[in-house]
Amino acid sequence: MENRDDIIANLLLRWEESFEHGDDVPAKELCQAHPELFDEVQSKIEDLKKMSWMTRDDDLGVEQPDELLSQTLGDRYRIESLIAAGGFGKVYRAFDPELERHVAVKVPHRQESNGQVDALVEEARRVAKLRHPGIVSVHDVGREDGTYFIVSELIDGKNLSEVIADQRPSVKGAVLLVANIAENLEAAHKAGFVHRDIKPANILIDENGKPLITDFGIASTHLDEETATKGTLPYMAPEQIANEKQLIDHRADIYSLGVVLYELLTGESPYSARTPGTLREQILFRSPKPIPDSVLSAVQEVCLKSLSKHPADRFNSADEFASALRHSLTTFPTKNSKRYKWFALFVTGVLMAAGGFLAGQFFDDEDHSVVQNAFEGGITFDGTRRIVTPIMNTDAPLTIEVWVAPSTNDNSESQFVVGSDVPGHYGMGLGMGANGHPMVEIIRSGLDATRYRLPTNRWSHLAAVFSFDETRLYLDGKLIGTCLPTAKAEVESPFVVGNLGFDHGKMCFLGKLRSVRITSGERFNEEFLPDENLSIGDNSESLLIYDESSFGSKQIEDLSGNGNHGNWDSVVVIE
């Protein structure tokens, strides 16, 4: 037996399909078999009529003379060319002679009443106060012949729709891109804005690959009957479609961004629908299509959580969404995952085939733990051994980066992944402070990023840039803190991997290390996408690179080509 919600959904679907063909079926006729549902169905139909603009096809394919080309808006902005056109309006490239710069000017198709124009201009002025490097800035708003226009920063690049059409990014690229967008969105949310129309066309990618959110034209610091239902149907949250005004807040943007992520991961929409009415019904009541198994299960879980029907089941903030995305890339496969099972079967087959030979190698070799841990992925540091490198605590600029997975983040003392500390003199190092906070040590000072915590049993990318002007600390490519520049080393000391320094037997790292790279100069000047494999890419300035393939013997092979091989060394406690 159908429940109440399913009956209403089917009735509304019948109404929408008829309405699309020009037939407005009365609610009384629809509800002949269910008269008790009349009031609710009638109310829903009225809401749908308010949203009918979403299903109209604007006749933009017919070429007509554009009266605004070569005109000047607001006695200031000289319209040069059409950049794009959509259901809401047109965006032009224009020149501002007062500030001698090019700008983007958006003009809506729809002509509003004077009162509506006043309200829209006032709202645009509020949006213009929103300043963030990941949000396209609104410079000015004005009116011309009964309508209004918005002047914003002109971004040289493409929107995300065009990028996807050219080539979809990898899973990792998609996850990190959406994480950056979510962090940009958080800035707007904290300022009191909800975008309500997050979609690929409203995400610009500049020439450096940096994403920026644009088109806050329907964003608002308040809701009314009209703005509550604005948006683009495939990306609208269920509460927007249902016009549940009391539920619409920043989490609607999280849902929309989740749809963008789904499309980046799969190349498809979460729902298969041929008509707007069917799509609306699926968004409200159906589950998204399964995400292919080729996508990490942790990434799938984050994506599907963002697409939860009820706002309370999604992430509480865009920052929380971004953090979950970054960590999803570093989660170890679980024993229930298909990847783990495939790998386990593979390993079992190899061991059975190799039999006694492998057993002898693992259990008779003095360094069997090194080989076995490298075979499992990464190398385990348990506080008893470390790697001594020939690289000395040289002057800045210098960059250290590591892929690590701590076994605990409840540590009472600091743990150094890479260190060069000299007792009584300090050094340069990178690791975790007490309670798992990312930390960087410089000569005579340091930084403990207490707002962040390294997760256990997940790969995290940690990096420190020691420059002439400052020291920067990064977690998974995100800048999380800065401090003073390091002073010149008073005593030369080698970098060691696994504890505080060569003449120390304390503050040892406990967990797994996958790779380490030390580079001369400032490798990172802004936020970045960490290299999954540190031995790939531009390593012309690299001094030392160790990764999983380096850990198979007593000598640790330097993959940079500089011959800076490391050696295993027992940790001796020196008081």
Catalytic residues: 197
Cα gap 438→411, rounded to integer Å: 12
Structure tokens at 368: 């069997």
Which residues lie closer than 8 Å to 548 by C-beta, 6 or more apart? Answer: 374, 377, 378, 379, 514, 515
Q: Pairing relation of β-strands 429-432 and 415-419?
A: antiparallel
Q: What would the 3-class secondary structure string for 349-364 be?
A: HHHHHHCHHHHHHHHH
Q: Are 185 and 132 in contact (CB under 8 A)?
A: no
Listing DSSP states for 128-142 in one string gives HT---TTBPPEEEEE
Which residues lie closer than 8 Å to 75 by C-beta, 6 or more apart? Answer: none
Which residues lie closer than 8 Å to 402 by C-beta, 6 or more apart? Answer: 417, 418, 430, 461, 462, 463, 513, 515, 516, 517
Length of the chain as a residue count: 575
Bridge partners for 89 per DSSP: 108
Q: How many CB atoms lie within 10 A of CB 533?
A: 13
Listing DSSP states for 432-501 in one string gives E-GGG-EEEEETTEEEE-TT--PPTTB-EEEEEEE-SS-EEEEETTEEEEEEPPPPPPSS--EEEESSS-
Cα gap 311→389, rounded to integer Å: 51
**In degrees, to the nearest 5, what angle opens at C-alpha 409 toward C-alphas 407 and 410?**
115
Structure tokens at 189: 């949310």
Which residues lie closer than 8 Å to 374 by C-beta, 6 or more apart? Answer: 548, 549, 551, 552
Cis peptide upstream of residue 397 (ω within 30 degrees of 0) = yes
Is residue 399 helix, strand or coil?
Answer: strand
Cα gap 374→211, rounded to integer Å: 37
**How many angstroms separate the most distant Cα atoms in the chain?**
90
Find the distance separating the first CA and the last CA of the chain, reported in whole Å.
76
